[in-house]
């Protein structure tokens, strides 16, 4: 089935590794050109770019800190030059510290909010006016389920991303008339190869998942591709969880 990706330019942030990499490769396999964003993982990004080119689509590598508006503007300039304007964005980049709020230094919580909340605003402010002008666009933000449920050890990223959920809902109302859809994909624990749990810790965690396992990067890409596809043109302002049944709010 053609899901309408051929010739579309999709920016995926934090796509050198893990979940972002899986989404980038899956979108390339469907014929999309990929704006492959990374911040530090240059070597991994180069490898993914090579794998993407093997699908016969275009790929532009872009580097930047999404918390810095200047970097995001530079990312757009590079993408405009190398791919043309961006049709869809998947903001997969993020940073979450795992600890009690009382173990934070102020600069640590500021940085987390800068990435997980202001990063979304920077991307929207930079890229969405063009989507509005063309009367077509989709923006997906990836968050953790802690943004919906709360989590004492993910307290700052959960709050920042809860703010991003609210921002995208309000934005969805604003830009809906311009045929731009804004949705959030909310994740349970996904093993992307860097979790670092002991076997005992992992067993404890798995007990909290009705589907009796934690997620894989491959569990995420199907929903993201669907939300970017023509079939999801009437879905906006939603939060969709991929979490093995871990939480069932709403
Ligand atoms: N894995 C999970 O269990 C899980 C659960 C819930 C939510 N999530 C969220 O899902 C997304 C993907 O998760 P993941 O586990 O695959 O990878 P991840 O390591 O949590 O983050 C993905 C990428 O974000 C990029 N990044 C971090 N700070 C950035 C900044 N200031 N500017 C630009 N990019 C930045 C990093 O790119 P570089 O490596 O190039 O620096 C990193 O590779 C993340 O947003 C994560 O918080 C993950």
Residue ranges covered by each domain of the chain: 9-242
Name which of 142, 147, 171 is nearest 158 in CA terms: 147
- Sheet holding 9-12: strands in order across? 59-63, 33-38, 9-12, 88-91, 137-144, 180-187, 239-242
CA end-to-end span of the chain = 32
How does pLDDT run along the chain (250 residues), one tens digit per residue?
A: 899 999 999 999 999 999 999 999 999 999 999 999 999 999 999 999 999 999 999 999 999 999 999 999 999 999 999 999 999 999 999 999 999 999 999 999 999 999 999 999 999 999 999 999 999 999 999 999 999 999 999 999 999 999 999 999 999 999 999 999 999 999 999 998 888 889 999 999 999 999 999 999 999 999 999 999 999 999 999 999 999 999 997 6
Coil, helix or strand at residue 37: strand
Q: Given ligand 1 and candidates 75, 93, 205, 223, which is best to mutate, with the most ligand atoms within 8 Å of its CB?
A: 93
Q: Given ligand 1 and candidates 19, 107, 193, which is best to mutate, with the most ligand atoms within 8 Å of its CB?
A: 19
Q: Which residues, 6+ apart, have CB-to-CB distance to 178 below 8 Å? A: 131, 132, 135, 137
Give yes or no for residue 16 CB within 6 A of ligand 1: yes
Alpha-carbon Rg for the chain in angstroms: 17
φ/ψ region of 7 (left if φ > 0, alpha if ψ in -120 to 50, else beta) reads left
Cα dihedral 186, 155, 107, 169 sign: positive
Q: Given ligand 1 and candidates 22, 95, 121, which is best to mutate, with the most ligand atoms within 8 Å of its CB?
A: 95
What does residue 5 show for φ and ψ, rounded to 5 degrees? Answer: -90, -15
pLDDT for residue 134: 98
Q: How far apart are the CA of 214 and the centre of ligand 1, in A?
A: 17
Q: Which atom of ligand 1 is nearest to the CA of 214?
A: 3
Give yes or no for residue 95 CB within 6 A of ligand 1: yes
Give yes or no for residue 189 CB within 6 A of ligand 1: yes
Name which of 235, 228, 230, 249 is nearest 11 in CA terms: 228
Q: How far apart are the CA of 20 and the centre of ligand 1, in A?
A: 8
Please name the fold of domain 9-242.
Rossmann fold (3.40.50)
pLDDT for residue 179: 98
What does residue 202 show for φ and ψ, rounded to 5 degrees? Answer: -65, -40
| Alpha-helix residue ranges (DSSP H) falling in 9-68 | 18-29, 42-53
């Amino acid at each position: 089935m053609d899901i309408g990706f051929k010739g579309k330019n999709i920016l995926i942030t934090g796509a050198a590794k893990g979940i972002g990499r899986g989404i980038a490769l899956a979108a390339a396999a469907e014929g999309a050109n990929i704006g492959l964003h990374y911040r530090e993982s240059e070597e991994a990004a180069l490898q993914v770019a090579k794998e993407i080119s093997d699908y016969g689509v275009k790929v532009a590598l872009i580097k930047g800190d999404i918390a810095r508006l200047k970097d995001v503007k530079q990312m757009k300039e590079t993408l405009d030059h190398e791919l043309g304007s961006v049709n869809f964005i998947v903001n997969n980049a993020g940073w979450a510290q795992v600890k009690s709020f009382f173990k934070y230094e102020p600069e640590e919580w500021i940085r987390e909010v800068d990435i997980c909340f202001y990063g979304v605003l920077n991307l929207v402010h930079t890229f969405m006016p063009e989507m509005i002008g063309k009367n077509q666009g989709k923006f997906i933000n990836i968050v953790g389920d802690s943004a919906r449920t709360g989590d004492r050890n993910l307290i700052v990223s959960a709050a920042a991303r809860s703010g991003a959920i609210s921002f995208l809902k309000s934005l969805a109302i604003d830009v809906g008339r311009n045929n731009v859809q804004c949705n959030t994909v909310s994740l349970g624990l996904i093993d992307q190869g860097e979790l670092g749990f002991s076997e005992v810790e992992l067993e404890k965690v798995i007990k909290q998942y009705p589907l009796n396992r934690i997620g894989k990067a491959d569990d995420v890409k199907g929903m993201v591709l669907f939300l970017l596809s023509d079939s999801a043109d009437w879905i906006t302002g939603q939060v969709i969880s991929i979490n093995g049944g871990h939480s069932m709010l709403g």
